[in-house]
Structure 1
Amino acid sequence: MIINKLIPLFTLILFFNCNSSAQKQKEEASKIYKVSKTESEWKAELSEMEFYVLRKAGTERAFSSPLNKNYDEGIYHCAACNSPLFKSKHKFDSGTGWPSFDREIKGNVAFSTDNDLGYTRTEEHCTTCGGHLGHVFNDGPKNTTGKRHCINGVALKFVPNK
């Protein structure tokens, strides 16, 4: 009956969902970065939370990062490889609980499509090591770029201007 007709449809949906996830993992694993380490090397260098966010695309708890309310002048670097990613002059308080910027340092942040939550988002990665940073949205300040780079604070290291 109806159930017998729906089983092939659900099987097809499951096949394509599993295939796209496997494809995404395969593409990520095949990328070569300037800073490339094994999982055990990253685990030895990063804290548990840094590893979870940067290497496993996790998300830190909102309002947990001291960098969220940091407005000192300087540059925000990748916590894994020290590549400069965001300038403090482009940081703003989005009210979301994560450090937010209206633009990245061009060439140092890469973008990909993330469908992990059932809808499409633009994910951000460090171009030097491939570390997951966060996501970019189109609800940022309208008087600048209109972008909100919503970044995990644990993925960043702040380097103050001298």
Structure 2
Amino acid sequence: MGYSVEKSDAEWREQLSPDEYKVLRKAGTERAFTGKYTDTETKGVYACKACGAKLFESDTKFHSGCGWPSFYQPITDTVEYIEDNTFGMKRVEVRCANCGSHLGHVFPDGYGTPTGDRFCINSISLTLEPADEAEPA
């Protein structure tokens, strides 16, 4: 698939830290309960760390206890879904639709969410853009 943002492997390596590169470009996973946004409750929008595309709104984030930030739905058409049969499991990988970077996986395991889905996303693949708390008078 062609993406709006395409870079060479060397360009991605230059832009991203080694840990970011491992997750975003090589479909790695950060360790559970170590990510910056696992327990964050700041209002705002979560964007792709690689390209800046807006992916998830904070009001769709919930505490699942799984060790990674969890969301029940992405912003419309911002992610793509890839069948993932690695490690002897059948899962659905979630990638940024703008640059193809690996974000995490989606599971249809409920958790009482409005969609019944849990998007289990690596913190390292995200950047939080806090909502502007100051309302103009």
Q: In 2 relative to 1, CA 156–144 (structure 1 residues): closer, same or farther, beyond 3 Å?
A: same
Greater share of strand:
2
Q: 2:76 is matched with which residue: 97, 106, 110?
A: 106
SS at match of 2:124: helix
Alignment RMSD, CA only?
Answer: 0.8
Whole-angstrom distance in 2 between the partners of 1:143 and 1:130: 26
Alpha-carbon offset, residue 140 of structure 1: 3.1
Q: Distance in 2 between matches of 1:54 and 1:143?
A: 26
| Percent identity (aligned) | 47
**Contact 1:53 1:132 survives alignment (8 Å):** yes
Of Structure 1 and Structure 2, which has the larger fraction of its residues in helix? 1
Within the candidate set 124, 129, 132, 2:102 is matched to 132
1: CA distance between counterparts of 2:124 and 2:113?
28
Structure 2, unmatched stretches of 5+, are: 133-137
What TM-score do the two structures reach when normalised by structure 1? 0.80
- Separation (CA, whole Å) in 2 of partners of 1:124 and 1:77: 14
For the pair 1:36 / 2:36, whether they are aligned, the reply is no
Offset at residue 152 of structure 1 (A):
0.4
Query: Which one has more relative contact order, counting CA pairs under 8 Å at least 6 apart?
Result: 2
- The structure whose Rg is larger is 1
The answer on 1:85 being equivalent to 2:55 is: yes
Gaps of 5+ in 1: 1-30
